[in-house]
């Protein structure tokens, strides 16, 4: 019953979000293909965006077309930008994560998992199921080639909570058997292409929700059940603390530490 309730909770805001934003969405924005091509001159960026092959302009053009709702078996109702924005920034509701600059192979795998049921979602699963494998690769590379922007921080949380979240991120908890997030997600949670997403700067509400889904067995598409086993050792305070902490770490601050907004 708990799993059914959470699955329903996830699908409702997604469906509402599509209905409320589709009419107002600006389909003309986002980075142009030339900008993305120029970024791919950097080998690190190209590796981050790569799925099956090094992205070229044709693949990026197809990825942009898919993102705008132009999949061969799709339509405007399948436009990625409706929920994730033209710049891939999502909207911070917890249902719409950031896609900008996430590893292309990771994004591709999530689409495959949505399609085959390994990561069930009432909105994303039918969308992914209608994409061809090449369209999945293209749209994943398109978002993977994007620059990772800085998202304004939302709200304030107690300093003690951020300190605990920072500890979980950096060293984990020996007492609870929780390993450090950075062990897999890279220094300061900035990700490890091709298969490990960045957490730094991702929306706290989205990360907290995913941890809960893993804990409850609704989401079960992680390698060797690593995330599922970790989440089961965490309580709600742990999930919120580490999510709030990591959401405040940006790409620009990764080397010096986050500028934390705290409340007394």
Note the pLDDT tens digit of each residue in 96-143.
999 999 999 999 999 999 999 999 999 999 999 999 999 999 999 999
Per-residue pLDDT band for 30 (boundaries 50, 70, 90) equals confident
Q: What is the pLDDT of residue 134?
A: 98
Q: What is the pLDDT of residue 77?
A: 87
Query: 173 pLDDT exceeds 80?
Result: yes
User: Do 44 and 127 share a structural domain?
Assistant: yes
User: Do 115 and 71 share a structural domain?
Assistant: yes
Q: Where is pLDDT greater, at 148 or 16? A: 148
User: Do 204 and 120 share a structural domain?
Assistant: no
User: Do 62 and 132 share a structural domain?
Assistant: yes
Domain-embedded: residue 98? yes
Burial of 165 (0-12, 13-18, 19+ CB in 10 A): buried
- Check if the beta carbon of residue 108 is closer than 8 Å to that of residue 161: no
User: Do 119 and 19 share a structural domain?
Assistant: yes
CB contact set of 218 (below 8 Å; sequence gap of 6+): 3, 6, 7, 10, 120
CB hemisphere CA count around 214 (13 angstroms): 23
What SS3 class is residue 158? strand
The structure tokens listed for 261 are: 């907004």
| d(C-alpha 212, C-alpha 108), whole Å | 23
- Check if the beta carbon of residue 52 is closer than 8 Å to that of residue 136: no
Number of domains in the chain: 2
User: Do 164 and 224 share a structural domain?
Assistant: yes
| d(C-alpha 25, C-alpha 67), whole Å | 12
pLDDT digits (tens, 9 = 90+) for 47-105: 999 999 999 999 999 999 999 999 999 888 899 999 999 999 998 777 899 999 999 99
Domain-embedded: residue 150? no
The residue out of 144, 179, 205 marking a domain boundary is 144
Per-residue pLDDT band for 254 (boundaries 50, 70, 90) equals very low
Domain-embedded: residue 151? no
User: Do 125 and 15 share a structural domain?
Assistant: yes
Residue with tokens 């090094």: 54
pLDDT digits (tens, 9 = 90+) for 219-241: 989 989 999 999 999 999 999 99
| d(C-alpha 215, C-alpha 44), whole Å | 33
- Check if the beta carbon of residue 18 is closer than 8 Å to that of residue 124: no
pTM for this entry: 0.85
Q: Containing domain of residue 252, as a range?
A: 157-263
Query: 10 pLDDT exceeds 70?
Result: no
User: Do 184 and 132 share a structural domain?
Assistant: no
Per-residue pLDDT band for 252 (boundaries 50, 70, 90) equals low
Domain-embedded: residue 152? no
User: Do 73 and 191 share a structural domain?
Assistant: no
| Mean of pLDDT over the chain | 86
Task: Please state the rounded mean pLDDT for residues 164-182.
Answer: 98
CB contact set of 121 (below 8 Å; sequence gap of 6+): 10, 11, 14, 114
The residue out of 87, 111, 144 marking a domain boundary is 144
User: Do 163 and 138 share a structural domain?
Assistant: no
Per-residue pLDDT band for 250 (boundaries 50, 70, 90) equals confident
The residue out of 144, 179, 209 marking a domain boundary is 144
Phi, psi of 10 (to 5 degrees): -70, -40
- Check if the beta carbon of residue 241 is closer than 8 Å to that of residue 167: no
- Which DSSP symbol is given to 233? T
Domain-embedded: residue 149? no
List the CATH number of the domain containing 166.
Answer: 1.10.760.10
Farthest CA pair distance, the chain: 53
User: Do 107 and 77 share a structural domain?
Assistant: yes
Domain-embedded: residue 79? yes
Q: What is the pLDDT of residue 228?
A: 96
pLDDT digits (tens, 9 = 90+) for 195-209: 999 999 999 999 999
Task: Please state the rounded mean pLDDT for residues 245-251.
Answer: 86
User: Do 131 and 38 share a structural domain?
Assistant: yes
Per-residue pLDDT band for 251 (boundaries 50, 70, 90) equals low
For CA atoms 156, 161, 165, 166, give the dihedral sign.
positive
Task: Please state the rounded mean pLDDT for residues 254-258.
Answer: 42
Q: What is the pLDDT of residue 150?
A: 81
Domain-embedded: residue 233? yes
Q: What is the pLDDT of residue 217?
A: 93
Domain-embedded: residue 41? yes
């Amino acid at each position: 019953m708990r799993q059914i309730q959470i699955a329903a909770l996830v699908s409702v805001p997604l469906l509402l979000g599509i209905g409320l934003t589709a009419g107002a969405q600006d389909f003309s924005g986002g980075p142009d293909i030339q900008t993305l091509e120029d970024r791919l001159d950097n080998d690190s960026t190209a590796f981050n965006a790569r799925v099956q092959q090094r992205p070229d302009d044709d693949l990026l053009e197809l990825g942009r077309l898919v993102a705008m709702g132009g999949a061969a078996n799709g339509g405007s109702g399948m436009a990625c930008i409706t929920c994730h924005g033209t710049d891939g920034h999502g909207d911070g509701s917890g249902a719409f994560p950031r896609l900008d600059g996430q590893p292309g192979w990771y994004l591709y795998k999530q689409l495959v998992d949505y399609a085959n049921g390994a990561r069930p979602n009432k909105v994303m699963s039918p969308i992914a199921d209608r994409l061809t494998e090449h369209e999945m690769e293209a749209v994943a590379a398109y978002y993977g080639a994007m620059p990772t922007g800085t998202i304004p921080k939302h709200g304030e949380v107690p300093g003690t909570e951020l300190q605990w979240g920072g500890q979980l991120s950096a060293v984990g908890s020996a007492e609870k058997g929780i390993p450090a997030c950075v062990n897999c997600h890279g220094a300061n949670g900035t990700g490890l292409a091709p298969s490990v997403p960045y957490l730094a700067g991702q929306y706290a509400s989205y990360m907290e929700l995913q941890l809960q889904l893993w804990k409850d067995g609704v989401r079960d598409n992680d390698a060797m059940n690593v995330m599922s086993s970790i989440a089961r050792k965490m309580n709600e305070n742990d999930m919120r603390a580490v999510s709030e902490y990591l959401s405040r770490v940006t790409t620009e601050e990764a080397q010096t530490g986050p500028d934390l907004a705290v409340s007394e």
